[in-house]
Amino acid sequence: MTTAQAPDSPIGQAAGSATVPRHIAIIMDGNGRWAAQRKLPRAAGHRAGAEAVRKVLQAAADHGIEVLTLYAFSSENWRRSKEEIADLTGLMRFYLERELKTIEKEGVRLKLIGDYAAFGRDLAGQLERAVERTKANSRLTLVVALNYGSQAEIAAAARDLATAAVAGTIDPSTIDEKAIGDRLETAGLPPLDLLIRTSGEVRLSNFLLWQAAYAELLFTDTLWPDFDERALADALSRYASRQRRFGGR
Catalytic residues: 29, 77
Give how many residues touch ligand IPE by CB under 6 A.
17
What are the angstrom distances between the C-alpha of 172 and each of 69, 88, 166, 185? Answer: 31, 42, 9, 21
Ordered alpha helix ranges (H), 138-222: 150-167, 177-181
- The least distance separating ligand IPE from the CB of residue 197, rounded to whole angstroms, comes to 8
| Partner whose footprint covers residue 73, from Mg ion, ligand IPE, none (CB < 5 to 8 Å by kind) | ligand IPE
- The least distance separating ligand IPE from the CB of residue 89, rounded to whole angstroms, comes to 11
The span from the CA of 35 to the CA of 191, in Å, is: 34
**3-state class (DSSP) for residue 10:** helix
**3-state class (DSSP) for residue 73:** strand
- The least distance separating ligand IPE from the CB of residue 219, rounded to whole angstroms, comes to 13
Cβ proximity to ligand IPE, 27 vs 56, nearer residue: 27
Q: Is residue 88 near ligand IPE by the rule CB under 6 A?
A: yes
- The least distance separating ligand IPE from the CB of residue 242, rounded to whole angstroms, comes to 23
Chain residue at closest Cβ approach to Mg ion? 29
Contact string (CB under 6 A) for ligand IPE, positions 56-75, x = contact: ---------------xxxx-
- List the beta strands (DSSP E) in 18-81: 23-27, 67-74
Please check whether residue 107 is in contact with residue 61, taking contact to mean a CB–CB distance below 8 angstroms.
yes
Contact string (CB under 6 A) for ligand IPE, positions 14-53, x = contact: -------------xxxxxxx--------------------
- The least distance separating Mg ion from the CB of residue 12, rounded to whole angstroms, comes to 34
Please check whether residue 22 is in contact with residue 65, taking contact to mean a CB–CB distance below 8 angstroms.
yes
Radius of gyration of the chain (CA): 19
Please check whether residue 239 is in contact with residue 21, taking contact to mean a CB–CB distance below 8 angstroms.
yes
> Of residues 20-59, which lie at the interface with Mg ion (CB under 5 A)?
29
Instruction: For residue 5, give the amino acid letter.
Output: Q
Cβ proximity to ligand IPE, 13 vs 74, nearer residue: 74
| Partner whose footprint covers residue 28, from Mg ion, ligand IPE, none (CB < 5 to 8 Å by kind) | ligand IPE
| Partner whose footprint covers residue 27, from Mg ion, ligand IPE, none (CB < 5 to 8 Å by kind) | ligand IPE
The span from the CA of 146 to the CA of 139, in Å, is: 22
Give Dmax over CA atoms of the chain in angstroms: 60
**3-state class (DSSP) for residue 180:** helix
Binding site for Mg ion (CB under 5 A): 29
Binding site for ligand IPE (CB under 6 A): 27-33, 71-74, 77, 88, 199, 201, 203, 205
